[in-house]
Amino acid sequence: MADKAKFQAIKGVRDILPPESALWNYVEQTAREVFGTFGFVEIRLPIMEQTDLFARSVGQGTDIVSKEMYSFSDHTLRDLDGLRAQFLLQDLMFWLGPREMEEYFKALRSLLEAFDRGLKEESALGTEWNMASRERIGTLTHQFEHAIESIGHAENRDLLDETREELKRQVESLRVNVLTLRPEATASVVRAYIEHGMQVQPGNVKLYYMGPMFRRERPQKGRYRQFYQIGAEVLGTSDAPGIDAEVIEMLMRLFERLKLKGAVLNINSIGDKNCRPAYVEQLRAELQKEREQLGADSQRRIETNPLRVLDSKLESEQGIIAKLPRIAEHLCADCRAHYDEVKRQLGLRGIAYQENWRLVRGLDYYMRSTFEITAPGLGSQNAVCGGGRYDGLVGLLGGPATTKGIGFAIGTDRLVLSLQEAGEGGTTGGPAGKAVGPDVYLAWFGAAAQSATIGLARRLRDAGFVVELPAVEMKFGKSLGLADRLKARHAVIVGDDELAAGVVTVKRLSDGTQQKLGEPELFSYLQAF
């Protein structure tokens, strides 16, 4: 007999169960309210995007893109790799004889048919690159088939081999549509901003979003493979430091409203394309001198991204890092002025901050302001929010080069965890969570009572009461026992006697007091609670 499968959620993902889900709703609702007062509106984004979008914006060399993305080829072209392998095999055997040559062309045709089908269904990318390759393959195949009639001449064989080589290269370069479950949403917001021409809107475009993100990280407390973010982005032509400060103010306002205690704001400026490259080179040179003392990750980063070494938490590297040159001393005049003004603007808003020269963030699109907020109760994964300015990103993704951007994302899982650890809201939904259990349990006895209670339940629910209406008839004791176990506040009892008298019996379950009431009195009685 086959084993009965026992399914569990996959590693690093989890269910958010009631009553905790009420706390999530409360957090999200409060964010909507606070962000709304700052003029932000919601954007709902797709969960998947083309892989290239993230590779280009977050950066090819980042941990997120190089190690953590969930990517897959669009399934209708799943067979393209197989067909490509088949073609390459036939290519190796091309000169063995006429049958092999025939098989070679057959394999090439099957591959091209699949690719063309994919283009139609948009599972192959219709990029310039792909279209040029596809066209070149068509021309080469044509020439090749034409020339093959004169095989046997030695000089022709060389020529044919050249064509074959180029065909092979072109076939290897055909790309299928690779999709990725979004590891973050800034790239998607920018993509949507450009796609929908939002730059024509007056003033700054202020958007917020909430939803799941996906990164293949090593799961631990506060770190999941499917996690949730509440994020906001400001896009427009201005990079005024007052925008940076207001975005941070909005965040702090939300945390205050949620009564998140002990949140610490860290800020930094990582310069721009005028001043950062020289600093990075200097950092690289200093790190080279200490290479042998560094761990494997940092050694690799000397080449790929020396700034990220500053993020290192490795105990053995802390002494070396403390002596490294600091970006603050290498900012150009414009970046320095911008950073100073951000700090002054934070001061105007009464926002306390810590400057942290090591705060570089793990995504490539940042420039100038970066910030992170830590919260207590989270162990090593204590960043509850991260963000910063990304002025070049819109241009990089093909939008107007003058568009500036800044934003943040809160890790909702961590925010909720920190609130729970502080006992704020507990697990029962916090200040927004209603006490558990329905307001009214409608106990009915007999067919006539059932039809009467269906109508009564509807009227009670329309008035906003939480009503539990048993779907089947139960014995009196069992029914009232269930009302107790569900922690209902009141049992409203309807049987033949009540129907005849035009009343219901209301029993307050906390103390057992009961009385008979007509419907209008029942409503006023319940409303008084």
Taking each continuous run of H as one helix and of E as one strand, the counts in the chain are 19, 16
Which is nearer to ligand HAM, 112 or 190 (by Cβ)? 190
Closest residue by beta carbon to ligand HAM: 411
Residues 393, 412, 201, 335, CA torsion sign: negative
Residues 180, 186, 189, 194, CA torsion sign: negative
Q: Is 365 helix (H, G, I), strand (E, B) or coil?
A: coil
343 is a site residue for ligand HAM (CB under 6 A): no
AA letter at 486: L
Residues touching ligand HAM: how many (CB under 6 A)?
Answer: 23
Residue by residue, DSSP assigns 194-213 as HHTTGGGSSS-EEEEEEEEE
Spatial distance between the Cα atoms of 60 and 175, rounded to a whole number of angstroms: 17
Secondary structure E strands in 263-364: 264-269, 354-355
Output the smallest distance, CB 60 to ligand HAM, in A. Answer: 16
Beta-strand relationship, 440-444 and 490-494 = parallel
Which is nearer to ligand HAM, 192 or 383 (by Cβ)? 383
**b vs e for 427-438, b when ≥16 Cβ sit within 10 Å of the residue's Cβ?**
bebbeebeeebb
Cis peptide preceding 219, ω within 30 of 0: no
x/- mask, ligand HAM, residues 362-391, rule CB under 6 A, reads ---------------------xxxxxx---
Which is nearer to ligand HAM, 126 or 379 (by Cβ)? 379
Output the smallest distance, CB 354 to ligand HAM, in A. Answer: 16
Output the smallest distance, CB 182 to ligand HAM, in A. Answer: 10
Which residues on neighbouring strands pair with residue 374, listed in sequence order? 264, 383
Q: How many residues does the chain have?
A: 529
- First vs last Cα of the chain: how many Å apart? 57
Q: Which of 20, 49, 63, 184 binds ligand HAM (CB under 6 A)?
A: 184
Q: Which of 59, 236, 377, 411 binds ligand HAM (CB under 6 A)?
A: 411
Q: Is 291 helix (H, G, I), strand (E, B) or coil?
A: helix
63 is a site residue for ligand HAM (CB under 6 A): no
Which is nearer to ligand HAM, 91 or 217 (by Cβ)? 217
Which is nearer to ligand HAM, 225 or 276 (by Cβ)? 225
Which is nearer to ligand HAM, 191 or 223 (by Cβ)? 223
130 is a site residue for ligand HAM (CB under 6 A): no
Are the CB atoms for 283 and 307 separated by under 8 Å? yes
Beta-strand relationship, 440-444 and 467-468 = parallel
Are the CB atoms for 136 and 170 separated by under 8 Å? yes
224 is a site residue for ligand HAM (CB under 6 A): yes
Q: Which of 186, 269, 453, 479 binds ligand HAM (CB under 6 A)?
A: 186
Spatial distance between the Cα atoms of 248 and 407, rounded to a whole number of angstroms: 9
407 is a site residue for ligand HAM (CB under 6 A): yes
x/- mask, ligand HAM, residues 228-267, rule CB under 6 A, reads -x-x-x----------------------------------
Which is nearer to ligand HAM, 248 or 302 (by Cβ)? 248
192 is a site residue for ligand HAM (CB under 6 A): no
Candidates 15-23, 297-305, 321-329, 406-414; binding stretch for ligand HAM (CB under 6 A): 406-414
345 is a site residue for ligand HAM (CB under 6 A): no
User: What is the binding site for ligand HAM (CB under 6 A)?
Assistant: 184, 186, 215, 217, 222-224, 227, 229, 231, 233, 383-388, 407-409, 411, 413-414
